[in-house]
Chain A
């Protein structure tokens, strides 16, 4: 029997607005340059939700979030010739609702 994989959600903010659904392919490509195809496959990444133009919740395999957080630190360009962009991992959680709640609390303080 195949075990169901547990997931983690990571809230990521971009340094400038971006339509992630259109750029997702480029984002994956940039990520694979950091962690390789095998790393990307292990990550089992998907875009779970976009909040506005610069907040994104990514779903991934539990246990792989640390390599994702490290890898996005060094993604600075999604497409050749375009402006540089940075990605910040803000929060990690097991559910989307909890990540949104935690972010609300942090944004309130800032």
Chain B
């Protein structure tokens, strides 16, 4: 059976999302909240310390490798989300950083997801492209599929 893949973007794109091979592209501000209160909250790791309602947080966007923090996320069963948008700025430097995050997230057996966090259509990617990026960052074939499906667990 074909797996369901998901992405996160800053805008709604239901039909385009389906053409790109996703079951759903979650829109920030509608389907999920980012760094603010809402129904399904995801926050950046820098917000974690001071965020008031940690119980309501479903996922954390990691910006660096922090083993103690990764352990905590595992205990609290939060999804670790890797934002791939920095790859558009400095591919070599950022791919090294993201590879480190992914390697450690998989080592800690965290539920991990990849997302584009696209602010406009030009920065969306198809599920086929995301699978290749996941593999480029060090995931195996099945792990890459898991990375694209993980966001479905917060729905």
Contact = CB atoms under 8 A, between A and B. Distances in A.
A66 interface: yes
B21 interface: yes
A84 B122 contact: yes
B18 A74 contact: no
B132 A66 contact: yes
What is the size category of the interface that chain A forms with chain B? 20 to 34
B88 A90 contact: no
A47 interface: no
Contact of A106 (B19, B125, B132, B133): B19
A51 interface: no
A26 B94 CA distance: 25
A3 interface: no
A15 B19 contact: no
Interface string A64-79: 0010011011101000
A92 B123 CA distance: 21
B19 A73 contact: no
Given A90-B20, A90-B21, A110-B15, 12 more contacts: A69-B128, A70-B133, A72-B129, A73-B129, A73-B132, A76-B88, A84-B120, A86-B124, A88-B19, A88-B126, A90-B19, A106-B21
10 contacts: A15-B122, A66-B132, A69-B129, A74-B91, A76-B88, A84-B122, A86-B125, A89-B129, A90-B19, A90-B21
Interface of B: 15-16, 18-21, 87-88, 91, 120-126, 128-129, 132-133, 135-136
Interface of A: 13, 15-16, 66, 69-70, 72-74, 76, 84-86, 88-92, 106-107, 109-110
Closest 8 pairs (CB-CB, A-B): A86-B122, A110-B18, A88-B126, A15-B121, A84-B122, A73-B129, A70-B132, A15-B122
